[in-house]
A and B are shown apart, each in its own frame.
Chain A
Amino acid sequence: EVQLVESGGGLVQPGGSLRLSCAASGFTFTDHYMDWVRQAPGKGLEWVGRARDKPNRYTTEYAASVKGRFTISRDDSKPSVYLQMNSLKTEDTAVYYCTRLMYHASSSYYPDFWGQGTLVTVSS
């Protein structure tokens, strides 16, 4: 059974840092790209970023709203994906989901499995 379990959320002050983890099981982690997506309370979904796999040199992509502050990494040996969040702002308050991407034709990838999410609250 595919499982993605996020952890590391909590309350942090503006300007602070937090590291989210997403532990994967039930599938071959090394075969998949991984995305992070967030949802602010009462709001819609927002894509945060992507971590590609080893053949693609673990390259990453980020939303403009987090670029330079957030870093996505992965450890295939764990297997886990991480979201390091620095210089946090109140507008980063959200439930953060990690997602597994499945490859489809024509170099397209779609999030076919989502974790249950972890809540990050940025407040003084």
Chain B
Amino acid sequence: GAGVSQSPSNKVTEKGKDVELRCDPISGHTALYWYRQSLGQGLEFLIYFQGNSAPDKSGLPSDRFSAERTGGSVSTLTIQRTQQEDSAVYLCASSLVTGFEAFFGQGTRLTVV
């Protein structure tokens, strides 16, 4: 596609429910990143995929968070048993090569009530 696509753009969920956030990177981009941004804060790294290498999961805040990337393309970030502190904008980015310009999707605004 022309850009990084994320869905849904907004998600309101009840505390304790599971949610899945989707990221469709730019075609041909081997690197894919997930970040989280709470209101007024910077970008918090969550997880990074590069080609067929094992993902860098060092930023995942708890074992309720997981992500996968199927076929080196689409990625899904799953949050189980959501908590109110999970409320944030979840941003996905992709780049052709590690360390080069990463292009961001419009994000998913998650609200846990």
Genuine A/B complex: no
